[in-house]
Structure 1
Amino acid sequence: MRKIIPLILSLALVLALAACGSNDTTSEATTGTTAAEDTSTPTEVTITSLNGNGDPTDLTVPYDPQRIAILDMASLDILDALGLGDRVVGTASTSLDYLQSYINDEVENLGTIKEADLEAVMACEPDVIFIGGRLASSYDSLSEIAPVVYLAADTETGVVASVEKNARTIASLFGLEDQVDQLMEGFDSRIQALAGAAEGHTAIVGLVTSGSFNVLGNDGRCSIIGREVGYENIGVDAEIDTSTHGNEASFEFIVEKDPEYIFVLDRDAAIQTEGAQLAQEVMENDLVKGTQAYQNGNIVYLAHPAVWYTAEEGITALDLMLQDLESELLEE
């Protein structure tokens, strides 16, 4: 009996030690899982952006950046739609009504979308900076302050596709990609409805600036009218570059082409040129009045020129641009 008792005690001790070892192993596994969860959120993310030459490039930026500097209104539009406006610590000035909440004393003024105030950008200590094409020449200087996300429209794929792509790129910085489908909902069907009205019709698209009319192609501003909505743009040769301000055309040229529709972007109104003639005053002269576009009431003055001219790759901007076309082209 005396021999059995020590044996029993020894077995009990072995079982107790085994139990402790089992508990420790469970604890270590749980801790390991928790640690993995804690470290699953990245500190950085790599996206495809543009460099100072406008070429696609891989860019590493902080994940979920808290301090954002904005020098591009389309990007601000997308960030606003994603509910990230409280991250904006500085922005370029803008006249766009739907972005006026960012023009205040609490948000640093960083200059304009054409000329950045580098000292102001540096002072607001951004985690990331967003720019558009007008600031491509400042890409390197701004990159010394923080990573620069430079996004633009690809007219080959279209404005709608570009807005979606850019929105997904921006959303990926914050893990909000699942919101983009909802933000883009309805745009394709609206384009299809407009395409039905455009089918088989010719148009000239252009902008009025300093009393002149510049024709636009399908390679830049307003390209959505010809490329996606589907009007046959007869104003320019497809090989001619019109992506900046278009090519100046005479009113005799418009008469010669005699389009069924004329779409007009008022650049002077878009940039608030003091003392400039209204686009309607410039366009509705004796020559243009002889065109079928005028006689049939088909000169369309784009109602939100600043949107078309400065911010067309944004979510709200795209909505407003389609509204401008729908209100003139679709029957009530």
Structure 2
Amino acid sequence: MLRRLSPLLAAGLLSVSALSAQAATTYPLTIHNCGRDLVFERAPQRLVSLGQASTELLLRLGVGARLVGTGVWFGGLPKDLQEEGKGIPRLADNAPSFEAVVGTRPDLVAAQYTYHVGPGGEVADFPRFAKLGIAAYVAPSDCEGKAVTADSNSDGSRSAPFDMQLVTREAQELAAILDVQPAGKQLVAELDRRIAAAGEQAKAAGVQGRSVLFWFSSPRLEGDPWVAGNLGAPAWIARALGLRNVVDSAEEWPAVSWERIASLDPDYIVVARMDRRLYPADDVDKKLAFLRSDPLTRELRAVRENHLLVVDAPTLNPSLRVVDSVETLAADLAKPQP
């Protein structure tokens, strides 16, 4: 399925941009991904997805029947994907072993994060998959405009702001690889429509210019929370709604003290809800209770005015579901204030 790209062959390969106007993929196909050229001789038929966003994207493209394994989950599937996704083997709730992945005999591994597949990847690096002839595709949003060191377990920092075009490009590239380009085109058009509608709803609510903080989780409730920096997906969500993210950091999810947050005093706090329970602050109810009871946080403007908004954690990571956050927050912002 996967082979190295030679200079002579490169001139004759059809790129994804050339395929964008076609209904069917012509192979061999080359895709430039995370600094490497992947060449596909045919449409992959056995897929493993590592990362909930990657799983959901493949389901949206209508190739759920080809999924032979998944890993790295934050919560359940959206309701409209639950039926199609219920029979997909879950290799692990978090990161599966390399052996578990290759045991499914995949011809494509689609990963959400370089943390799992990439230099120093928890599952494997690129050469390890390539030696077995397995194509490893990583979401462009996690390897373009972003730096993650091989010896770090952080979410990394960005050198360029996240943009939804990285996600729509991922949808188009995977649609080309899998020979389902009409599904990719339809998906991108629907995302564009939804984003525009939510932006208009937020504009009508008159929240332009107001400030917002996004709290994902924390290793300890009383400790420094992991909040969204100003170049990641949450900051893009804020801009789409006309809001201003208060944390000025290139890191995706920096740890910022509550004292610093109090000095920034955001108008709104968005809190992530998830099924994961690695840390106490993964529990959204505990997060909300802390905000309302802690002597410092209960005096924040957003807490006093009950401007606490809840969204599902996967919608704050670069993925199709970023649009879900935009819609949810636009609807909440448009509600009459008590």
Instruction: Provide TM-score, normalisation by structure 1.
Output: 0.71
1:87 aligns with 2:66: yes
Which residue matches 1:183?
A: 187
- Displacement of 1:102 after TM fit? 7.0
SS of 1:180 mapped into structure 2: helix
1:330 aligns with 2:330: no
> Please, which runs of 5 or more residues in structure 1 have no aligned partner?
1-39, 51-55
Aligned pairs for 1:282-297 within 5 A: 282-284=290-292, 285-297=294-306
Q: CA RMSD in A?
A: 2.9
Which residue matches 1:30?
A: none
Using a 3 Å threshold, how does the CA distance of structure 1 residues 286 and 139 change in structure 2: closer, same or farther?
same
Alignment coverage as a number of residue pairs: 274
| Aligned partner letter, 2:59 | D
Could you tell me which of 134, 139, 143 is aligned with 1:151?
139
Could you tell me which of 41, 48, 58 is aligned with 1:69?
48
Inter-partner Cα distance in structure 2 for 1:274 and 1:261: 23
Which residue matches 1:300?
A: 309
Which residue matches 1:49?
A: 33
Inter-partner Cα distance in structure 1 for 2:103 and 2:84: 17
Q: Deviations over 1:107-141 (max 9, x none)?
A: 4443355x332222222211111112231222232
> Please, which runs of 5 or more residues in structure 2 have no aligned partner?
1-23, 145-157
Could you tell me which of 88, 106, 110 is aligned with 2:91?
110
Which residue matches 1:21?
A: none
Instruction: Provide TM-score, normalisation by structure 2.
Output: 0.70
Using a 3 Å threshold, how does the CA distance of structure 1 residues 93 and 247 change in structure 2: closer, same or farther?
closer
- Displacement of 1:313 after TM fit? 0.7
1:273 aligns with 2:260: no
SS of 2:238 mapped into structure 1: helix
SS of 1:222 mapped into structure 2: helix
Which residue matches 1:163?
A: 167
- In our comparison, the structure showing a higher alpha carbon Rg is 1
1:130 aligns with 2:110: yes
Using a 3 Å threshold, how does the CA distance of structure 1 residues 157 and 172 change in structure 2: closer, same or farther?
farther
- Displacement of 1:191 after TM fit? 4.2
- Displacement of 1:280 after TM fit? 0.2
Using a 3 Å threshold, how does the CA distance of structure 1 residues 161 and 221 change in structure 2: closer, same or farther?
closer
| Aligned partner letter, 2:109 | I
Query: Is the Cα–Cα contact under 8 Å of residues 68 and 87 in structure 1 kept in the other structure?
Result: yes
Inter-partner Cα distance in structure 1 for 2:36 and 2:168: 19
Query: Is the Cα–Cα contact under 8 Å of residues 67 and 88 in structure 1 kept in the other structure?
Result: yes
Which residue matches 2:12?
A: none
- Displacement of 1:41 after TM fit? 6.5
More helix by share: 1
| Aligned partner letter, 1:282 | F
Which residue matches 1:26?
A: none
Q: Deviations over 1:153-176 (max 9, x none)?
A: 267464432221110011111333
1:225 aligns with 2:233: no
Q: Percent identity?
A: 21
Q: Deviations over 1:62-82 (max 9, x none)?
A: 432111111122222121111
- Displacement of 1:322 after TM fit? 2.7
Inter-partner Cα distance in structure 2 for 1:80 and 1:142: 23
Which residue matches 1:207?
A: 216
- Displacement of 1:275 after TM fit? 5.7
SS of 2:232 mapped into structure 1: coil
- Displacement of 1:149 after TM fit? 0.6
